[in-house]
Copies of this chain bind each other. A is one copy, B any other.
Amino acid sequence: MFSKACEYGLRATIYIAEQSLSGRKTSLKEIAGSIASPESFTSKILQQLSRSEIIHSDKGPTGGFSMNPHQLETVKLSSIVAAIDGDHIYKGCGLGLEQCNEKKPCPLHDQFKGIRDELKSMLETTSVKELALGLKGGLTMLKR
């Protein structure tokens, strides 16, 4: 479904959000450890997310990754997926056709449309914050 990079990106962002909700910055090392992802690869992904202004980063000692109140309030899963994998997964044709629409549909169009639209709307309405709250409350897990 999502690329490895995107899976790590989603897990990392949810973890950073959870820490930010508790008023803590977190380091690359801590993130990678907490979401069971390769550290250096995760670093590249965090850079992307930071450039896309989905998360915030500070250099130097006491530095680390965090999300500011505005980011915590506004970031939806769709922004993360779009920043890493692009929006093809929730906008494109299931059979990979360039032009596939109501007028010239692929054979799977009708059956696929509902699922793709549901995925799209789920990603666009689900906030990182709400997922971070479930994690904070100990209801959900990010590794293993």
A69 in the interface (beta carbon within 8 A): no
If A2-B94, A118-B114, A126-B111 touch, whether A141 touches B11 (CB-CB below 8 Å) is no
Is A61 positioned at the interface, with any CB of B under 8 Å from its CB?
Answer: no
A115, B122: Cβ atoms under 8 Å?
yes
Pick from B11, B111, B134: contact of A95, CB under 8 Å: B11
Number of A interface residues, CB 8 Å? 42
> Residues of B contacting A135 with CB < 8 Å?
107
Per-residue CB contact flags for chain A residues 1-38 toward chain B (1 = under 8 Å, else 0) read 11010011011001000000000000000000000000
- Across the interface, which residues of B come within 8 angstroms of A96, CB to CB? 2, 4, 7-8, 11
A131 on the interface (CB 8 Å rule)? yes
A94 to B140, CA, bound (A): 13
Closest to A134 in B: B107
Interface 1/0s, chain A 80-102, versus B by CB < 8 A? Answer: 00000000010010111111100
A132 at interface by CB-CB < 8 Å? yes
Q: How far is the CB of A113 from chain B (nearest CB, A)?
A: 11
Given contacts A94-B1, A114-B118, A118-B118, contact A10 B99 (CB under 8 A): no
